[in-house]
Amino acid sequence: MSTSSFQPTRPLPYGRQFITDADVEAVTDTLRSDYLTQGPKVAEFEQQFASYVGARYAVAVSNGTAALHLCALALNVQPGQRVITTPITFAASANCVRYCGGEVHFADIDPTTALIDLKAVRQLLESHPKGYFHGLIPVDFAGLPVDMEEARALANEFGLWIIEDSCHAPGGFFIDSEGQNQRCGNGRYADLAIFSFHPVKHIATGEGGMITTNREDLYQELLKLRTHGITKDPAQMERHDGGWYMEMQELGYNYRMPDMLCALGISQLSRADVGLTRRRQLARQYDAAFAEMPGVRPLAGAIGHAYHLYVIQVEDRKKLYNFLRQHQIFAQVHYIPVHTMPYYQQLGWMPGTFPLAENYYAHCLSIPLFPSLTDQEQDYVVACIQEFVEQQQD
Ligand SMILES: *Cc1c(COP(=O)(O)O)cnc(C)c1O
């Protein structure tokens, strides 16, 4: 195969947003309305998102990291409390525990999926007295949903709360023990689930995030924490000074998502399933191409996979990364194991502690996958990788 027959007319990143005229109109309509922030679009986006994932409540926030922070606060993470997450995730999944002074612990991954290995989590839990750990933050890495039924059972056994980091998996689902599809963030298993609307994610608003839950108590707490710890609900107040009165009851933040971005989110959400279908189709096409390509190992797929990323593993990853760049293909590495970052090393974590995660990191590469990627562009990516593989064999 040769790469010369088709040359892409644009660089091909690993992910990119898909903005339509309808999206632009939704934003400009809001700009002309009475509300730039905290108008009707916020509740509308929240309701539609909650119904999309099948959860009772949704809270829109300024970004995915703010969502994680608010979750940790709502679950009352205290200094010294220990929380378990995966080393193969974006640093924010772990950092939210640090914001509250908690201790981050890690469990190694399952190398076929790169998800946190719940057997490794169990081993970690069993090697300490009950009550030693307080929470679990599983991540639906690359869009592959964690088996939350199993995670919940484990959490119940050891008295943990769960924040599911579903930034990669809106619309993704796992199949439960009764054969039912269970959508990420549907509130049945995790206490709280979080999503991000960063431009590379499925639903893009620039900055933005969402928390979903079925728990009324956490929902009320999140609403307050999102706005400075202030309530305007007279029923919840200690005093009633007059019509103007609002009450700051605890230390909160400004983590609100503005109306114009919620309007964009609503418009994007209306096309979420179209994008998801295209991502899954592209992934199947990659799967078929790499099944016949020695030396290229994709991560395991699944029917409910939301395919935020398409990850392959190759022997000489750096060489492939540089080779693809020369061909205008901007692949990326997801992720540098969190425990090997200097910040986490300062906290005592050592490289070598999670060999499966570190081995995965040595070989992984996320190649272009986004709804507007054309079949022709995808064929070009495959042809370039094929050419690389052949060069390696010479
Ligand atoms: C993007 C992402 C976040 C953070 O979201 P932001 O909106 O960028 O703050 C957290 N966790 C994971 C797994 C992500 O991919």
pLDDT in tens, 162-200: 999 999 999 999 999 999 999 999 999 999 999 999 999
- Per the domain annotation, does 215 fall within a domain? yes
216 and 260: one domain? yes
47 and 128: one domain? yes
Domain boundary residue among 219, 246, 269?
Answer: 269
Share of the chain above pLDDT 90, in %: 97
Does the Cβ of 168 fall within 6 Å of ligand 1?
Answer: yes
Ligand 1 atom nearest the C-alpha of 66 is 9
For range 228-256, the mean pLDDT? 96
Does the Cβ of 63 fall within 6 Å of ligand 1?
Answer: yes
- Per the domain annotation, does 8 fall within a domain? no
Ligand 1 atom 6: the closest Cα is on which residue?
A: 64
pLDDT for the residue 93: 98
Does the Cβ of 62 fall within 6 Å of ligand 1?
Answer: no
For residues 331 and 11, the answer to whether their CB atoms sit within 8 Å is no
Confidence of residue 4 (pLDDT cuts 50, 70, 90): low
pLDDT, tens digit, for every residue of 17-28?
A: 999 999 999 999
Best mutation site among 65, 69, 194, 336 for ligand 1 pocket (most ligand atoms within 8 Å of CB): 65
pLDDT for the residue 394: 79
Does the Cβ of 296 fall within 6 Å of ligand 1?
Answer: no
In angstroms, the CA 283 to CA 268 distance is 21
Domain that holds residue 152: 21-269
- Per the domain annotation, does 288 fall within a domain? yes
Ligand 1 atom 4: the closest Cα is on which residue?
A: 64
45 and 162: one domain? yes
pLDDT, tens digit, for every residue of 123-175?
A: 999 999 999 999 999 999 999 999 999 999 999 999 999 999 999 999 999 99
pLDDT for the residue 287: 98
Domain count of the fold of the chain: 2
Does the Cβ of 196 fall within 6 Å of ligand 1?
Answer: yes
Does the Cβ of 64 fall within 6 Å of ligand 1?
Answer: yes
Domain boundary residue among 235, 269, 303?
Answer: 269
179 and 74: one domain? yes
252 and 300: one domain? no
- Per the domain annotation, does 286 fall within a domain? yes
- Token pair belonging to 127: 């090697």
Q: Is 136 left (phi over 0), alpha (psi -120 to 50) or beta?
A: beta
In angstroms, the CA 132 to CA 347 distance is 18
246 and 279: one domain? no
The CATH number of residue 323's host domain is 3.90.1150.10
Residue 5, pLDDT above cutoff 80: no
Does the Cβ of 139 fall within 6 Å of ligand 1?
Answer: yes
Does the Cβ of 256 fall within 6 Å of ligand 1?
Answer: no
- Token pair belonging to 301: 């797929």
- Per the domain annotation, does 182 fall within a domain? yes
pLDDT for the residue 173: 98
260 and 279: one domain? no
- Per the domain annotation, does 2 fall within a domain? no
Ligand 1 atom 15: the closest Cα is on which residue?
A: 167
169 and 75: one domain? yes
Domain boundary residue among 222, 246, 269?
Answer: 269
223 and 293: one domain? no
Confidence of residue 6 (pLDDT cuts 50, 70, 90): confident
Does the Cβ of 202 fall within 6 Å of ligand 1?
Answer: no
Strand order, beta sheet including 103-106: 57-61, 209-213, 192-196, 161-165, 133-137, 82-85, 103-106
pLDDT, tens digit, for every residue of 260-276?
A: 999 999 999 999 999 99
236 and 370: one domain? no
Q: Distance from the CA of 6 to the center of ligand 1, in angstroms?
A: 34
The CATH number of residue 120's host domain is 3.40.640.10
- Per the domain annotation, does 208 fall within a domain? yes
Mean pLDDT value across the chain: 97
Residue 108, pLDDT above cutoff 90: yes
According to DSSP, the β-strands at 364-367 and 310-313 are antiparallel
Can you give the chain as a three-state secondary structure string? CCCCCCCCCCCEECCCCCCCHHHHHHHHHHHCCCCCCCCHHHHHHHHHHHHHHCCCEEEEECCHHHHHHHHHHHCCCCCCCEEEECCCCCCHHHHHHHHCCCEEEECCECCCCCCECHHHHHHHHHCCCCCCEEEEECECHHHCCCCHHHHHHHHHHHCCEEEEECCCCCCCEEECCCCCEEECCCCCCCCEEEEECCCCCCCCCCCCEEEEECCHHHHHHHHHHHECCEECCHHHCCCCCCCCCCEECCCCCECCCCHHHHHHHHHHHCCHHHHHHHHHHHHHHHHHHHHCCCCCEECCCCCCCCCCCEEEECCCHHHHHHHHHHCCEECECCCCCHHHCHHHHHCCCCCCCCHHHHHHHHHEEEECCCCCCCHHHHHHHHHHHHHHHHHHHC
pLDDT, tens digit, for every residue of 299-344?
A: 999 999 999 999 999 999 999 999 999 999 999 999 999 999 999 9
184 and 56: one domain? yes
pLDDT for the residue 393: 86
325 and 336: one domain? yes
Those residues whose C-beta lies under 8 Å from the C-beta of residue 391, and which sit 6 or more positions away, are: none
Q: Distance from the CA of 323 to the center of ligand 1, in angstroms?
A: 28
For range 217-237, the mean pLDDT? 96
Q: Distance from the CA of 319 to the center of ligand 1, in angstroms?
A: 27
Does the Cβ of 167 fall within 6 Å of ligand 1?
Answer: yes
Does the Cβ of 85 fall within 6 Å of ligand 1?
Answer: no
pLDDT, tens digit, for every residue of 50-62?
A: 999 999 999 999 9
